[in-house]
Chains A and B, each alone.
Chain A
Amino acid sequence: MPIVLRELTQQQDGLAPGHGLCPGCSESVVVRQVLHALGKPAVVSLATGCLEVSTTRFPYTSWRTPLVHSAFENAATTIDGAEAAYRALVRSGKTQAQDITFVVFAGDGATYDIGLQWLSGALERGHHFIYVCLNNEGYMNTGIQRSGATMMGTWTTTTPIGKKSPGKLTWRKDMTGIVASHDIPFVAQASPHAWKDLMTKVQKADAVDGPAFLNVLSPCNRGWRYQAQDTIRLGQLAADTCLWPLYEIDHGTWKLDYKPHTKKPVTDWLQSQGRFSHLSRPENGPVVQEIQHKVDEEWERLQQRCRE
């Protein structure tokens, strides 16, 4: 299905305004893009997080789709249950078959850390649903604490900068890689700045027979300390520094979706956000070097996998 924005504007937004997300939050941008790309009814499961608390504050809901939230770690399993119910009820004739898709929106906290087991189990069971990880690199809803997605050297409220600490000490999990090893038909990294790429991936994700996983960078102006208006621009910068490459793994075939014309140094990324401001101090030079080294290593490895 070719993606033409003007055509998409004719569909009503699956997410209504009036929610409590911060001005400039990318999560609702991603949700809107995903739901428009699907172009059909979605049954949505949310993990506890910014999106969930801001869009379902009783008695208001921003969702124009059916929505379920049960807990923080189990969004994938909850939707798996709903999906199983759908198949069972259709099979027994208790409900009509419909063209609907089961979708999860969960943050990096819910996906990389507390919900890792639940996601893994749902992936292994192999039923069709689309899992969208809204990766803002931290537990933002509870106050900008570190997560397994937070990059080395980042200030967070639980990896603060102190006399004995330059921020988070460990690198970050390769969640996309972890999911890829579950051998599911579609895995991808995306970002809302590349809306066409994201939407195309959503459509590919919907077409597969089995689970699909989209890891979407979701810049957070509160947690990352930048001006709200730069949210989309930062997605571009992440791709240009190769810090958040856009790629996909379609039935095991790795494909790079964006290669920057000129690869920018990570310092461009680090200088764009207040959460890294301590890294400009000379004593943190080694940390910056390590970050660049890691990014380069991963970028090389990714390119190689995509070439094979």
Chain B
Amino acid sequence: MATLTKQRQKLGKYSGTPVALDGATLVANAMRQVRPDVVAAYPITPQTVITEAFSEFVANGEVDTEFIQTESEHAAMSACIGAAAAGARTQTATSGPGLALMFEVLYVASGSRLPIVMHLCARALSAPLNILCDHSDVMGIRDAGWVILLAESAQEAYDNAIQAVRIAEHPDVRLPVASVMDGFTTTHGVERSELLPNEAVAEFVGPYKAPYSLLDVAHPVTLGALDFHDYYFEHKRQQIEAMERAREVIRCVGREYGELTGRHYAALEPYRMEDAEVATLVIGSSAGTMRVVVDELRRSGVRAGMVKLRCFRPFPGKELAELLGGVHAVGIMDRSVSPGAANAPLFTEVSSALFQHGHAPLMRSYVYGLGGRTPGPAQFRQAYQDLLACDTLETQPAAPRYLGLRE
């Protein structure tokens, strides 16, 4: 059970600085403010702005970080593992194929229980080659044992970046965290956000206390030993437990962050759900568009609502079941696919969770936005129209509806 950190004086008296920055630069600032000891990264579109901006901070002495310019993303994560094992606060950033290249070592990082924070600028996986946003890269690592937080906006990406450090390093958790923002939409879109003062961030994250370190030569530790069938299962079970404990930690840290900034965070963010009869579940920047559609529908008398999913791992199944309790039909918006699967990734996750909690409203699967085809309100309005017409199980088609696909 996570405990709240000691009550600290509300820093409501501080003034955050309003800035107009793209999400990537804002996140690079968060990285600067959490004062990592080591950052190891390799550039890839659309993450490049983060590495470039951070390089400038290092070059100007605005942050005292060893920035390892690796020769690939796999090498970036490998260096992070070595650094974190040596007791350093360690970060990296990547996108799409870069994340895919790191796949092997992502599992090593989480299996070794290293609190590495990675800023993931969601990008489509090749082939075909595509540099724009979708969630195929994120979904590709859902089993890797990483905590996964997703942001709607630049502000959220910044806020998540700061909270990620506390979550990862918490002694009950000690798992790496992927802090995701949408490629291009959020990384490159300039938004008005609030930058916290350096001291506020430094105090919020505190220092990193590693439970052991490779540098402690007086107490040598072997990390990364070979497990056979006699131990691997137990070590994996520990990882699962840590991810379960992360739920409470994420809640606590989100509450504490809310006390600091006025922006409260949890695993889910409901919008107009109190009396909703139809709703959608959405991740990331498209939540903004969805909110516009919900407001429109409400004005025309439809009891529409929306839930934004902020935390994908650990998946908030119970909370989601409660939120969707009174809803007649819900549309699950997937920005990735899993060819041949029973359903698209988020739909699979939700239906599995709702099934376990004994409540399943009528559900429809929607796939949108692949390869950067960002949807407009018209497409999302279509989803709600379907949901309103959705009476029984029989009217639910087996296949997802592809929003914006030329058929």
Contacts and interface: CB of A to CB of B under 8 A. Distances in A.
Is there direct touching of A and B in the complex, by C-beta distance under 8 Å? yes
Interface of A: 41, 43, 45-46, 52-53, 56-59, 61, 63-71, 73-74, 77-89, 91-92, 94-95, 98, 100, 117-118, 120-121, 124-125
A81 B92 CA distance: 12
A80 B221 CA distance: 18
Contact of A81 (B68, B220, B228): B68
Contacts of B226: 52-53, 56-58
Contacts of B79: 77-78, 80-81, 84
A84 B220 contact: no
B222 A56 contact: yes
A206 B112 CA distance: 29
A77 B215 contact: no
B287 interface: no
Interface of B: 37-38, 40, 64-66, 68-72, 74-75, 78-88, 90, 104-105, 108, 112, 207, 213-217, 220-228, 231
B82 A70 contact: yes
Contact of B82 (A85, A92, A121): A85
A57 to B, nearest CB: 5
Contact of B220 (A65, A80, A117): A65
B66 A87 contact: yes
B214 A43 contact: yes
Given A61-B222, A66-B221, A95 B105 contact: no
Contact of B222 (A63, A85, A100, A117): A63
B68 A84 contact: yes
25 contacts: A41-B217, A45-B82, A53-B226, A57-B226, A58-B231, A59-B231, A66-B214, A66-B220, A68-B214, A68-B223, A69-B225, A70-B105, A77-B79, A77-B82, A78-B78, A79-B82, A81-B40, A81-B81, A82-B86, A88-B65, A88-B83, A88-B88, A89-B215, A91-B64, A94-B37
B75 A67 contact: no
Contacts of B216: 66
Nearest to B111: A70
A70 B64 contact: no
Given A69-B224, A82-B215, 10 more contacts: A59-B231, A65-B217, A66-B213, A84-B68, A87-B66, A88-B37, A88-B38, A88-B64, A98-B217, A117-B75
A230 B143 CA distance: 48
A74 B78 contact: yes
Nearest to A87: B66
Contact of A70 (B38, B69, B112, B227): B112
Contacts of B207: 94
In the A-B complex, the 9 residue pairs with the smallest Cβ-Cβ separation, listed nearest first, are A81-B82, A121-B71, A69-B224, A81-B79, A85-B88, A74-B78, A85-B86, A78-B82, A81-B83
A81 B37 contact: no
Contacts of B215: 43, 66, 82, 85-86, 89, 95, 98, 100
Contacts of B69: 125
Contacts of B64: 88, 91-92
A87 B87 CA distance: 12
A56 B85 contact: no
A74 B86 contact: no
A71 B86 contact: no
A164 B207 CA distance: 64
A63 B222 CA distance: 7
A133 B233 CA distance: 32
B220 A70 contact: no
B214 A118 contact: no
Contacts of A91: 64
A86 B82 CA distance: 10
B71 A84 contact: no
A95 B87 contact: yes
Contact of B86 (A46, A70, A73, A86): A86
Contacts of B71: 117-118, 120-121, 124
A20 to B, nearest CB: 10
B75 A74 contact: yes
